[in-house]
Amino acid sequence: MRIGVLTSGGDCPGLNAVIRSVVHRAVVDHGDEVIGFRDGWKGLLECDYLKLDLDAVGGILARGGTILGSSRVQPSQLRDGVERARGHVEELGLDAVIPIGGEGTLKAARLMSDSGLPIVGVPKTIDNDIAVTDVTFGFDTAVGVATEALDRLKTTAESHQRVLVVEVMGRHTGWIALHSGMAAGAHAIVVPERPFDIEELARRVGERFEAGKRFAIVVVAEGAKPAPGSMAFDEGGKDIYGHERFAGIARQLSIELEQRLGKEARPVILGHVQRGGTPTAYDRVLATRFGWHAVEAVHRGEFGRMTALRGTDIVMVELAEAVETLKTVPEDRYAEAECVL
Ligand code: F6P
């Protein structure tokens, strides 16, 4: 068989582990040929690709990023490009394409699949917001990076008696905020799923100082928003891909907390550091399993589906189901964390 692979959307630790796994399973075990499209869907639309053999994937298991490159493509460009993509798949004699990506990529994968392309998807994202899989690879690494940063920030916050408002990624969900905040023992966690009450947040942080503590760590997910009308708030609008542009909630919150509490408050934005660098062992294993199962699905002709983790098993689920809803943090997780606003 001949299989094409691509990585699209925001990069994520573990992408290279999937690529390596696909090549190992397909080339070594099945005698297939594998090619990789450069820079995501763009590579498929422009027929820009490279051959992926064992040498090409040597030494990449522990490397962050993606050896194929990634990009974001506007939904309209993809819709207009479906026929071109189909032409390239035929021209290259591909029996299947394996796109590895998050919500946007999986929506595009569904579009391509609905138009008749043989697609098997692999979900990835540090945000952990894909509803049909228990976990996505990249999440464990991102939580680890954020937790280490929070541990470090605690010591400097204490020295200077500051409130540090630490902004983590996660787009519309609070998984990274919840898990890193719990792991590091943050004093307040603010997630997008629950619009927060600034008075309540200021009260909680203030009570900590009144009890004699000399610092506070607030973890805030980038997509968090105040309850309507409760605090002045700048919205960031939309970018050219139709994604919400986040306007710096940590900066806005630290100004507000400083004014209300009379304590020095500083924003810390962890940003892309959460996505960079080597994947954890957990993410490498999950990514490797996804790659292996994606190749098996190709050989079974299970197109229009994607890999997912359910319990300890890797299963195949319909792409249509995968893109229906986002996996948000459920209500019962807030109480366990104690300090979610
Ligand atoms: O979806 C992964 C993610 O890192 C989000 O957490 C974040 O909002 C977004 O991508 C950032 O995207 P970009 O790298 O395009 O700024």
Q: Is 143 or 79 the better-scoring residue by pLDDT?
A: 143
Distance 91 CA to ligand 1 centre (A): 33
Give, as one character, the DSSP assignment of residue 26: I
Query: In terms of domains, do 257 and 165 share one?
Result: yes
Residue 102 assigned as binding residue = yes
- Among candidate residues 214, 241, 275, the one where a domain is terminated: 275
- Number of structural domains, the chain? 2
For residue 267, what pLDDT is reported?
Answer: 98
Residues near ligand 1 (Cβ within 6 A): 10, 102, 125-127, 169-171, 222, 275
Cα-based angle 227, 230, 231 (whole degrees, multiple of 5): 110
| H/E segment holding residue 3 | strand 2-7
Residue 126 CA, closest ligand 1 atom number: 2
For residue 170, what pLDDT is reported?
Answer: 97
- Among candidate residues 275, 292, 313, the one where a domain is terminated: 275
For residue 116, what pLDDT is reported?
Answer: 94
For residue 34, what pLDDT is reported?
Answer: 98
CATH label of the domain that carries residue 243: 3.40.50.460
Confidence of residue 78 (pLDDT cuts 50, 70, 90): confident
pLDDT in tens, 232-268: 888 878 887 778 888 899 999 999 999 999 999 999 9
For residue 241, what pLDDT is reported?
Answer: 77
pTM for the whole thing? Answer: 0.96
Residue 10 burial class via C-beta count within 10 angstroms: exposed 0-12, middle 13-18, buried 19 and up:
buried
- Whole-number Å distance between alpha carbons of 197 and 98: 43
Is residue 266, in this structure, part of any structural domain at all?
yes
For residue 42, what pLDDT is reported?
Answer: 96
Residue 124 near residue 324 (C-beta atoms within 8 A): no
Residue 275 CA, closest ligand 1 atom number: 4
Query: In terms of domains, do 268 and 295 share one?
Result: no
Query: In terms of domains, do 132 and 145 share one?
Result: no
Residue 116 structural domain: 2-138+279-322
Is residue 203, in this structure, part of any structural domain at all?
yes
Query: In terms of domains, do 134 and 144 share one?
Result: no
Residue 257 burial class via C-beta count within 10 angstroms: exposed 0-12, middle 13-18, buried 19 and up:
buried
For residue 245, what pLDDT is reported?
Answer: 86
Tokens 């004014």 belong to residue: 259
Is residue 73, in this structure, part of any structural domain at all?
yes
For residue 328, what pLDDT is reported?
Answer: 97
Q: What is the mean pLDDT of the chain?
A: 95
| 114 carries an active-site annotation | no
Query: In terms of domains, do 185 and 174 share one?
Result: yes
Query: In terms of domains, do 80 and 182 share one?
Result: no
Q: Which residue(s) pair with 101 in the sheet? A: 123
Residue 137 near residue 124 (C-beta atoms within 8 A): yes
Identified catalytic residue from 127, 129, 140, 283: 127
* Residue 48 main-chain phi, psi, to 5 deg: -105, 110
For the chain, the first-to-last Cα distance in angstroms comes to 52
For residue 286, what pLDDT is reported?
Answer: 98
What average pLDDT does range 71-91 have in this prediction?
91
Query: In terms of domains, do 128 and 147 share one?
Result: no
Is residue 97, in this structure, part of any structural domain at all?
yes
For residue 73, what pLDDT is reported?
Answer: 83
Distance 241 CA to ligand 1 centre (A): 12
Max Cα–Cα distance, the chain, nearest Å:
70
For residue 237, what pLDDT is reported?
Answer: 82
Query: Which among 270, 323, 312 has a CA at the least distance from the CA of 135?
Result: 312
Query: In terms of domains, do 13 and 108 share one?
Result: yes
Query: In terms of domains, do 95 and 208 share one?
Result: no
- Whole-number Å distance between alpha carbons of 264 and 247: 21
Query: In terms of domains, do 158 and 101 share one?
Result: no
Q: In what order do the strands lie in the sheet with 265-269?
A: 188-190, 216-221, 163-168, 265-269
- Whole-number Å distance between alpha carbons of 323 and 325: 6
For residue 338, what pLDDT is reported?
Answer: 76
For residue 7, what pLDDT is reported?
Answer: 98
pLDDT in tens, 84-143: 999 999 999 999 999 999 999 999 999 999 999 999 999 999 999 999 999 999 999 999
Confidence of residue 6 (pLDDT cuts 50, 70, 90): very high
* Atom 15 of ligand 1, nearest CA residue: 10
For residue 197, what pLDDT is reported?
Answer: 94
- Among candidate residues 275, 301, 332, the one where a domain is terminated: 275
- Whole-number Å distance between alpha carbons of 213 and 141: 31
Query: In terms of domains, do 210 and 188 share one?
Result: yes
Query: In terms of domains, do 205 and 306 share one?
Result: no
CATH label of the domain that carries residue 101: 3.40.50.450
Is residue 334, in this structure, part of any structural domain at all?
no
Tokens 């996996």 belong to residue: 327
Q: How many residues does the chain have?
A: 341
Is residue 96, in this structure, part of any structural domain at all?
yes
Residue 326 pLDDT > 90, yes or no? Answer: yes
Residue 190 assigned as binding residue = no
- The proportion of the chain whose per-residue pLDDT surpasses 90, expressed as a percent, equals 88
* Best residue for ligand 1 mutational test, from 72, 126, 169, 326 (most atoms within 8 Å of Cβ): 169
Residue 167 assigned as binding residue = no
pLDDT in tens, 172-219: 999 999 999 999 999 999 999 999 999 999 999 999 999 999 999 999
- Whole-number Å distance between alpha carbons of 111 and 79: 8
Is residue 331, in this structure, part of any structural domain at all?
no
Confidence of residue 298 (pLDDT cuts 50, 70, 90): very high
Is residue 332, in this structure, part of any structural domain at all?
no
Query: Which among 305, 277, 275, 278 has a CA at the least distance from the CA of 290?
Result: 305
Distance 274 CA to ligand 1 centre (A): 10
3-state secondary structure of 268: strand
